[in-house]
């Protein structure tokens, strides 16, 4: 019993008429009052306690028709309870059994075991409420706001390690994670900076009684503080909240902390209570109702009984946050004051507690049947220590255990030190065994991989074509399928939802000479059909296509008009028996004699180029091992393409379509760190060869009418700007003007330069470059598009792209530009891309049959546009009229954009950097800002690629289930310019991880979600991001999805045989540099897994034909994670037969459904997805069938996809 003197020192008043007089008499004549043992030391005792106890005894004597007896000899409690059990006990011993505060739960456990009715909370609630972090977890699960907090474990980490791996919202308050009575709350426990926090934690480490205690570092809210007295029990129907008290700190000195200090509560600072008062708090009806609802939920969830006091503090927005829960609180002081405000004098208040306890006791369940069941079930292993060990291990997952699990754990803890082990077993049986039995779920054991000798026990897995590895991948596939089997029906619902939301595109068509060429969507087979119409009336064909209301009508109309199918993507895959089939570019030659397409049938991004005669549909040529991009010469008789060498695209060829002439080598790259890509200038007159490493590039021009020019390719090849280490640039040409975006001259975010460009005699003549637009801070120039009289500058700033139009002229050979206007887009979050990228940025194979670029088209800018709430549109933009012309707009059944809300948020990273977050949610579900909702947070942060959001049926399926979808624009991308990229690569890579942690914690502290409802996801280098974050903060989320993740950085960068190793040095670091190698080793997800730590639920998705990230990497990581982690939760690995970008067609959506079901199973179980609780051994899983075995490919490897923008998809 520890009390605040100033507020409770008055004696009990004269007893007035009882407001309870109308109630029947209590059914017992004597109440035994259980007190602390005065014969044993009480560390918290103060002289004031004796005075308070005498007042309380006097008040208890005022309860009518019963007598009081006092029991304070703990040494004989067991014998007394066995031989002469009291009829009823008023439990006032908050000091604990034998005056040991940690043993307070033992007393109600003893009374329960002997069937003695008593007042106050039992062993379950007392044990739960000792752990403040656990109480916070329960509250968050109830949608009750709590201050954001971290736990510092001094026995497992240093102060510096704790500070470096956590992000704090200052000020914070530091207090013991477990305990009561304001232990550790001193005038220095509020910290306003990391320096103050570190100093305070170091000081606590020097205090013997606090040095080994886990500390809760909690956000300090400076708003109103209230204490709420609760009386009765929700199950009994007599629960009520007494008038609320507010702590008035206004008379404290300005620099004094506005908190209740430990010394003040112990009566050692009487001046504190002369300055702090408890006043009757006043609230509007809505706030009052919210507080009462919170109290009722907490009372029930934490198994509180009869009476308790619950404290809250308010934030700046007026939201109450749970501060503390005090079961079996001192029933004088604040509780007594609340009773007086309710019209209950102290004796009447005490009688109300007794009546509430007796009513509850009458409703208790019969434990005898439960005991018999559990003893029978556990007959083979009745060892109480074994049971305790199991329950203690499960306490490591407080975010995921059920109420029944908690009941078992806390009762085991409450009885662990009893001299008779049978007492512990009895208590476990009495409370929760029956429910525990119902919650068990049998699951198979995960596959076990061979561990070899050496520093990397799983190095053998890098031989991915071995039979041993293939068998392991098959077993992993089956294991994941069996673990996820309970979600099978839910997966089918997800697939159906995604397919229903698939955008339906109207036909895309263009005409050349006497033909109209088209691309139509085949929704039934999730592919495209490309063809042409031979007709004398183009207008008739256009009208027929315009009248078609769906794909079937379109197909019938085309047949009726005599259409010729040039390429049916689904039919092509079926005829060749391809499980995977990804089409790259599909282009018609300028005169319409030929069309060509590239196709990857393995997922290895190594394409075949097919050139087909349009009239005969006979193949003209097939070229293996090329990149996706190719371009016809202007006369249509030749084709430029990029060939793939041993490592990556490194050469450019000109292939003549007639004459049986060997391909002519146009350009050959000899530096292994450089990869070659092809583009065509906006006016179609030039092929642009771009050879680039991660930091350096060089562009070369070649006329596309090379076939009609003398001298050959080598004579015409023109270097735009000579290769210079650290300088990267791109360019475009329209007419006689070349524009270049470049970072030379220390223009980190790139500047715009221009020069004249002419075909002059037997060469390309470039004039001198002049700077048209200098680089700007936080605005990165990402692309330039040359038009007739305009240059379009694609800019990236604060995670949003925009297009700036500049008008230009040539004056005396000098290009002069002037600002004209910005293009305005209608959405907050959106994306756009070039028409050559195809309809779907995630799936270039879902593209269009396109005409070859011609100079007459250069006046208009053509692009695709999309946003999370706007299906893809094909637009042309006229800079002169400033108007868009929608060429086609995709439609979605039952989709209403107004139901969804886009938002931008900002998180503060460890070093104070503001990190943008893009957010989207269904505002029809969340009518206001989402509060404590399931959330999926995606991150990437590498290669300078910005994450852009576009329309996604998969994301919609999440939003319509109440999930909030968020993207963390962490450093390593280019969302805020080149500096944003540089600060997230090489020796600054850890900034990406700190940014991701900050974004996750901001979503939690802002109340949008909670850790138990948050999932992290990333793909490729984003998988590295998530893997590193899991090692740094395994407590940060409930689930994590890593797709084709780059996890073994150390091994990869040291593997000289890997084809892309040299190319990657500029992104991650040179392993020959010992400093860089040490830095990479310090964050590598594979080498930094933390033994004994509790990790969230984890799934890795990989691909056997991935040519960028070997399937061995996630496989090794999964098996090492299973080996070292300290919890029971399964880790899943699922390999598909696709490539780095995943599978195609319907398989793609089934994969997404599997992944979403996994995430929702653990962050949104309220959707009815069965949750995993405990792994029990079962029969080994079966082998995968041959039909679905994911076999590894043997294609060449090259890192091309990493140049592409990161399109966020769930």
Query: Which of 639, 20, 814 lies closest to 354 in space, CA to CA?
Result: 20
Percentage above 70 pLDDT, the chain = 80
| Start-to-end C-alpha separation, the chain | 54
For residues 845-866, give the mean pLDDT: 73
CB 209 within 8 A of CB 183: no
The predicted structure's pLDDT at residue 412: 46
Q: In which band, very low, low, confident or very high, does the pLDDT at 394 lie, cut at 50, 70 and 90?
A: very low
Measured CA to CA, the distance from residue 260 to residue 1123 in angstroms comes to 46
The pLDDT of residue 180 is 65
Q: Please choose, from the candidates 193, 228, 413, 215, the residue with its C-alpha nearest in 3D space to the C-alpha of residue 314.
A: 228
**pLDDT at residue number 120:** 96
* pLDDT tens per residue, range 783-812: 999 999 999 999 988 778 899 999 998 888
Q: State the pLDDT at residue 798.
A: 79
Structure tokens at 948: 């852009």
In the prediction, which pLDDT does 48 show? Answer: 66
Give the pLDDT band of residue 325 (cuts 50, 70, 90).
very high
**780-786, strands of its sheet edge to edge:** 780-786, 790-797, 800-811, 814-823
Q: What is the pLDDT of residue 647?
A: 62
State the average pLDDT for the chain: 80
Give tens-digit pLDDT for 334-366. 999 999 999 999 999 999 999 999 998 886 544
Residue 440 in this model has a pLDDT that exceeds 70: no
Lowest mean pLDDT segment, chosen from 78-82, 906-910, 1020-1024, 1081-1085: 78-82
Nearest to 161 by CA among 150, 172, 171: 150
How many CB atoms are located within 10 Å of the residue 1146 CB? 14
Residue 414 has pLDDT above 50, yes or no: no
CA-CA distance, 852 to 682, in Å (whole number)?
A: 11
Q: What is the per-residue pLDDT across 684-708, written as a single tens digit (0 to 9) for each?
A: 889 999 999 888 999 999 998 877 6
Contacts of 199 (CB under 8 A, 6+ apart): none
pLDDT band at 1206 (very low <50, low <70, confident <90, very high): very low
Per the DSSP assignment, residues forming a β-bridge with 935 are 964, 1014
Q: How far apart are CA 415 and CA 392, in angstroms?
A: 13
Query: Could you tell me which residues come within 8 angstroms of residue 495 by beta carbon, excluding any fewer than 6 positions away?
Result: 1149, 1150, 1153
Of 132-146, 682-696, 711-725, 1137-1151, the poorest mean pLDDT is in 1137-1151
Enumerate long-range contacts of 412-419, CB under 8 Å, 24 or more apart.
412/387, 412/388, 413/105, 413/127, 414/105, 414/106, 414/109, 414/123, 414/124, 414/126, 414/127, 415/106, 415/109, 415/123, 416/388, 417/103, 417/106, 418/106
pLDDT at 16 (0 to 100)? 54
- pLDDT at position 965: 96
Q: Where are the alpha helices (DSSP H) in 529-588?
A: 538-547, 551-560, 569-575
Q: Are 1193 and 1105 in contact (CB under 8 A)?
A: yes
Q: How confident is the model at residue 853 (pLDDT cuts 50, 70, 90)?
A: low
Give the pLDDT band (50/70/90) at residue 23: confident
Is residue 1035 within 8 Å of residue 148, measured between CB atoms? no
For 356, list phi and psi in degrees, rounded to 5: -60, -40
For 703, list phi and psi in degrees, rounded to 5.
-65, 135
Give ∠ CA 840-842-843 in degrees, rounded to 5: 65
Q: Give bridge partners of residue 994 from the DSSP assignment.
A: none
pLDDT of residue 856: 60
Structure-token pair, residue 1013 = 């409802």
Please give the domain boundaries of the chain with CATH numbers for all domains.
Answer: 369-437 (no CATH), 459-497+895-1208 (3.40.50.1820), 585-727 (2.130.10.120)
Q: Which of 91-100, 106-115, 207-216, 843-852 has the lowest mean pLDDT?
A: 843-852
> For the residues of 280-307, what is the DSSP string, one character each?
E----HHHHHHHHHHHHHHHHHTT--SE
| Per-residue pLDDT, 419 | 35
Q: Using the predicted structure, report yes or no on whether residue 443 has a pLDDT greater than 50.
A: yes
Element (H, E) at 198: helix 194-205
171-224 pLDDT, tens digit per residue, is 999 999 887 655 667 778 999 999 999 999 999 999 888 888 899 999 999 899
pLDDT tens column, 610-620: 999 999 999 99
Q: Among 279-293, 330-344, 547-561, 1077-1091, which stretch is predicted with the lowest mean pLDDT? A: 547-561
Residue 431 pLDDT > 50, yes or no? no
* Position with higher pLDDT, 17 vs 662: 662
- 112 vs 736: CA distance, rounded Å: 93
Distance, CA of 1175 to CA of 793 (rounded, Å): 56
Q: Assess contact for 795 and 781: CB atoms under 8 A.
A: yes
Rounded Cα distance, 567 and 579, in Å: 18
Give pLDDT tens digits for 1036-1065: 999 999 998 988 888 888 876 665 566 678
- Give the C-alpha separation, 893 to 504, whole Å: 8
pLDDT at 1179 over 80: no
**pLDDT tens per residue, range 961-979:** 999 999 999 999 988 888 8
Rounded Cα–Cα distance for residues 954 and 1154 (Å): 11
Q: For 461-466, which contacts have Cβ atoms below 8 Å and span 24 or more sequence positions?
A: 461/1112, 461/1115, 461/1116, 462/1051, 462/1110, 462/1112, 464/1104, 464/1110, 464/1111, 464/1112, 464/1192, 465/1192, 465/1194
Judge whether residue 298 has pLDDT over 90. yes
- Two tokens at 339? 């009773």
Report the C-alpha gap between 1015 and 1019 in whole angstroms.
14
Using left for φ > 0, alpha for ψ between -120 and 50, and beta otherwise, residue 789 falls in left
Give the pLDDT mean for 1129-1143: 80
Helix H or strand E encompassing 495 = helix 488-500
273-282, 503-512, 951-960: the lowest-pLDDT one: 503-512
The residue among 875 and 1198 whose pLDDT is bigger is 875
pLDDT value at position 610?
95
In whole angstroms, give the CA distance from residue 334 to residue 883.
Answer: 69
Widest pairwise Cα distance in the chain: 119
Q: How far apart are CA 388 and CA 375, in angstroms?
A: 15
pLDDT at residue 1183, as a whole number: 33
User: Is pLDDT larger for residue 556 or for residue 7?
Assistant: 556
Whether the predicted pLDDT of 246 surpasses 90:
yes
Per-residue pLDDT, 1146: 74
Which is nearest to 231 in space by CA: 91, 355, 107?
355
Residue 391 CA: distances (Å) to CA of 144, 397, 424, 1123: 27, 11, 12, 21
Question: Helix H segments across 983-1042?
Answer: 990-1005, 1021-1032
Q: pLDDT tens digits for 881-900? A: 999 988 888 888 878 888 89
Residue-level pLDDT at 1016: 97
Are residues 320 and 294 in contact, defined by beta-carbon separation less than 8 angstroms? yes
- Lowest-pLDDT range of 510-519, 994-1003, 1140-1149: 1140-1149
Residue 935 has a pLDDT of: 96
Flag the least confident range among 194-203, 1081-1090, 1173-1182: 1173-1182
The DSSP code sequence of 952-984 is -HHHHHHHTTT-EEEEE--BTBSTT-HHHHHTT
Dihedral, CA of residue 211, residue 218, residue 266 and residue 214, to nearest 10? -20
Q: Given a cut of 50, is residue 1207 above it in pLDDT?
A: no
pLDDT over threshold 70, residue 243? yes
Q: In the predicted model, is pLDDT for residue 844 greater than 50?
A: no
Count of Cβ atoms closer than 10 Å to residue 838 Cβ: 24
Q: Can you tell me the distance from the alpha carbon of 177 to that of 131, in angstroms, rounded to the nearest whole number?
A: 6
Q: Tell me the two tokens of residue 799.
A: 């995670």
- 433 Cα distance to chain centroid: 35
Q: What are phi and psi of 309, to 5 degrees?
A: -125, 130
What was the pLDDT predicted at 270? Answer: 56
Distances in whole angstroms, Cα of residue 999 to Cα of each of 93, 228, 919, 1018, 1025: 45, 34, 11, 14, 13
CA–CA distance, 506 with 890 (Å, rounded to integer): 7
């Amino acid at each position: 019993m520890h009390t605040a003197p100033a507020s409770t020192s008055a004696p009990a008043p004269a007893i007035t008429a009882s407001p309870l007089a109308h109630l029947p008499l209590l059914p017992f004549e004597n109440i035994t009052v259980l007190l602390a043992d005065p014969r044993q030391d009480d560390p918290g005792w103060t002289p004031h306690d004796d005075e308070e106890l005498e007042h309380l005894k006097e008040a208890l004597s005022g309860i009518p028709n019963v007598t009081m007896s006092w029991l304070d000899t703990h040494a004989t409690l067991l014998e007394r309870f066995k031989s002469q059990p009291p009829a009823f006990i008023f439990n006032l011993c908050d000091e604990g059994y034998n005056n040991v505060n940690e043993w307070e739960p033992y007393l109600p456990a003893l009374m329960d075991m002997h069937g003695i009715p008593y007042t106050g909370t039992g062993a379950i609630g007392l044990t739960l409420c000792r752990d403040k972090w656990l109480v916070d977890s329960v509250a968050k699960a109830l949608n009750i706001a709590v201050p954001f907090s971290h736990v510092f474990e001094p026995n497992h980490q240093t102060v510096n390690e704790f500070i470096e791996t956590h992000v704090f919202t200052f000020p914070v308050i530091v207090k013991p994670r477990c305990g009561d009575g304001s232990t550790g709350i001193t005038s220095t426990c509020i910290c306003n900076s990391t320096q103050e926090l570190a100093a305070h934690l170091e000081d606590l480490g020097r205090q013997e009684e606090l040095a080994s205690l886990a500390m809760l570092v909690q956000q300090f809210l400076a708003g109103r503080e209230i204490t709420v007295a609760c009386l009765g029990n929700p199950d009994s129907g007599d629960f009520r909240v007494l008038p609320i008290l507010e702590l008035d700190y206004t008379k404290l000195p300005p620099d004094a902390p506005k908190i209740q200090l430990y010394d003040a509560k112990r009566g050692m600072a009487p001046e504190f209570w002369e300055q702090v008062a408890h006043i009757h708090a006043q609230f509007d009806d809505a706030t009052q109702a919210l507080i009462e609802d919170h109290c009722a939920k907490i009372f029930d969830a934490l198994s509180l009984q009869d009476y308790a006091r619950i404290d809250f503090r308010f934030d700046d927005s007026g939201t109450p946050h749970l501060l503390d829960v005090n079961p079996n609180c001192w029933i004088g002081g604040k509780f007594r004051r609340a009773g007086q405000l309710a019209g209950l004098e102290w004796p009447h208040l005490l009688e109300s507690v007794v009546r509430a306890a007796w009513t509850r006791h009458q409703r208790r369940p019969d434990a005898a049947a439960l005991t018999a069941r559990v003893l029978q079930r556990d007959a083979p292993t009745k060892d109480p220590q074994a049971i305790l060990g199991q329950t203690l291990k499960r306490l490591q997952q407080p975010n995921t255990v059920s109420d029944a699990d908690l009941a078992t754990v806390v009762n085991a803890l409450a009885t662990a030190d009893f001299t008779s082990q049978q007492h512990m077993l009895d208590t476990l049986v009495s409370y929760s065994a029956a429910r525990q039995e119902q919650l068990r779920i049998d699951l198979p054991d995960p596959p076990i991989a061979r561990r070899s000798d050496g520093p990397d026990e799983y190095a053998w897995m890098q031989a991915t074509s071995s039979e041993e590895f293939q068998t392991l991948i098959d077993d992993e596939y089956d294991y994941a399928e069996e673990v996820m089997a309970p979600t099978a029906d839910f997966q089918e619902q997800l697939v159906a939802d995604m397919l229903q939301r698939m955008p339906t595109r109207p036909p895309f068509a263009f005409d050349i000479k006497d033909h109209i060429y088209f691309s139509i969507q085949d929704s039934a087979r999730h592919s495209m059909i490309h063809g042409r119409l031979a007709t004398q009336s183009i207008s008739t064909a256009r009208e027929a296509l315009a009248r078609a209301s769906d794909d079937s009508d379109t197909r019938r109309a085309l047949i009726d008009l005599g259409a010729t199918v040039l390429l049916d993507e689904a039919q092509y895959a079926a005829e060749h028996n391809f499980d995977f089939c990804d089409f790259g570019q599909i282009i018609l030659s300028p005169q319409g004699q030929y069309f060509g397409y590239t196709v990857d049938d393995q997922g290895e991004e190594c394409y075949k180029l097919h050139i087909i005669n349009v009239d005969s549909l006979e193949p003209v040529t097939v070229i293996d091992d090329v990149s996706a991009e190719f371009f016809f010469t202007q006369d249509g008789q030749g084709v430029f393409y990029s060939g793939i060498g041993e490592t990556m695209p490194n050469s450019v060829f000109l292939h003549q379509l007639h004459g049986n002439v060997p391909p002519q080598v146009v350009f050959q790259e000899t530096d292994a760190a450089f990869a070659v890509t092809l583009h065509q200038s906006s006016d179609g007159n030039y092929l642009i060869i771009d050879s680039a490493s991660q930091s350096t590039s060089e562009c070369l021009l070649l006329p596309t009418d090379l076939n009609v020019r003398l001298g050959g390719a080598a004579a015409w090849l023109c270097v735009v700007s000579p290769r210079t280490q650290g300088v990267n640039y791109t360019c475009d040409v329209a007419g006689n003007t070349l524009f270049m975006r470049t970072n030379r001259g220390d223009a980190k975010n790139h500047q715009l330069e221009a020069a004249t460009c002419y075909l002059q005699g037997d060469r390309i003549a470039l004039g001198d470059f002049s700077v048209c637009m200098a680089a700007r801070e936080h605005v990165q120039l990402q692309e330039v598009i040359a038009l007739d009289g305009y240059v379009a500058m694609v800019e990236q700033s604060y995670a949003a792209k925009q297009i700036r139009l500049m008008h230009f002229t040539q004056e005396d050979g000098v290009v002069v530009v002037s600002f004209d206007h910005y293009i305005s887009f209608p959405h907050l979050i959106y994306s756009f891309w070039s028409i050559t990228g195809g309809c779907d940025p995630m799936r270039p194979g879902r593209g269009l049959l396109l005409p070859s670029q011609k100079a007459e088209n250069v006046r208009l800018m053509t692009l695709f546009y999309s946003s999370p709430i706007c299906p893809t549109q094909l637009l042309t933009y006229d800079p002169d009229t400033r108007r868009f012309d929608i060429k086609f707009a995709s439609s979605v059944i039952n989709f209403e954009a107004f139901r969804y809300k886009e938002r931008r948020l900002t998180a503060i990273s460890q070093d104070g950097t503001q990190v943008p977050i893009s957010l989207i949610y269904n505002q029809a579900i969340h009518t206001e800002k989402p509060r404590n909702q399931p959330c999926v947070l995606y991150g990437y942060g590498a290669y300078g690629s910005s994450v852009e959001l576009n329309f996604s049926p998969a994301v919609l399926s999440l939003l319509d289930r109440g999930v909030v979808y968020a993207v963390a624009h962490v450093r390593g991308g280019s969302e805020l310019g080149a500096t944003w990229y540089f600060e997230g690569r090489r020796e600054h890579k850890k900034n990406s991880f700190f940014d991701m942690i900050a974004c996750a914690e901001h979503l939690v502290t802002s109340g949008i979600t909670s850790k138990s409802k948050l999932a992290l996801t990333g793909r490729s280098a984003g998988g590295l991001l998530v893997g590193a974050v899991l090692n740094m903060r395994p407590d940060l989320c409930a689930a994590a999805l890593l797709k084709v993740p780059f996890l073994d950085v150390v091994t990869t960068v040291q593997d000289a045989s890997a084809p892309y190793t040299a190319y990657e040095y500029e992104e991650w670091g040179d392993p020959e540099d010992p400093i860089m190698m040490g830095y990479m080793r310090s964050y590598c997800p594979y080498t930094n897994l933390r033994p004994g730590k509790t990790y969230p639920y984890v799934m890795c998705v990989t691909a056997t034909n991935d040519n960028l990230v070997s399937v061995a990497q996630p496989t090794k990581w999964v098996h090492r994670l299973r080996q070292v982690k300290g919890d029971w939760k399964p880790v899943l690995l699922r390999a598909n037969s696709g490539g780095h970008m995943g599978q195609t067609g319907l398989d793609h959506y089934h994969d997404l459904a599997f992944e979403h079901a996994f995430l929702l199973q653990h962050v949104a179980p309220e959707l009815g997805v069965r949750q995993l609780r405990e792994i029990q051994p079962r029969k080994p899983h079966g082998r995968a069938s041959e039909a679905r075995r994911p076999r590894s490919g043997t294609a060449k490897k090259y890192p091309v996809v990493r140049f592409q923008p990161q399109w966020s998809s769930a």
